[in-house]
Amino acid sequence: MLLELPHGETKSVPLAKGLIGSRSQSINGQLEVTYHNYKTVRVTIWRKMYFGLLNVNFSITDTDLSDIIEILIDAQKKIENYWLSKIAKQKF
């Protein structure tokens, strides 16, 4: 059961925040994920202050968050497989 809020009132719960590019030591932005009204996940990528590009904002239902995570994991696996195949072809 979802918690009902009075009309016009919103509840925002911070879920996660982190810098994008910290591993490569080239900060490109900050990713922020918040939970709104116990049903919507808002994702914001703050790029303007770090990289001069427009910020990115989008919202999805909380049940669809796992879809985005699966897509990103799939992309990461493909990148890793690509680089592993490149390394395997090199002669030492």
Per-residue pLDDT of the chain (92 residues; tens, 9 = 90+): 345 556 667 789 999 999 998 888 888 899 999 999 989 999 999 999 888 999 999 999 999 999 999 999 999 999 999 988 888 787 66
Give one word for 8, left, alpha or beta, with left for phi > 0 and alpha for psi -120 to 50. left
How buried is 20 (Cβ within 10 angstroms: 0-12 exposed, 13-18 middle, 19+ buried)? Answer: middle
pTM: 0.73
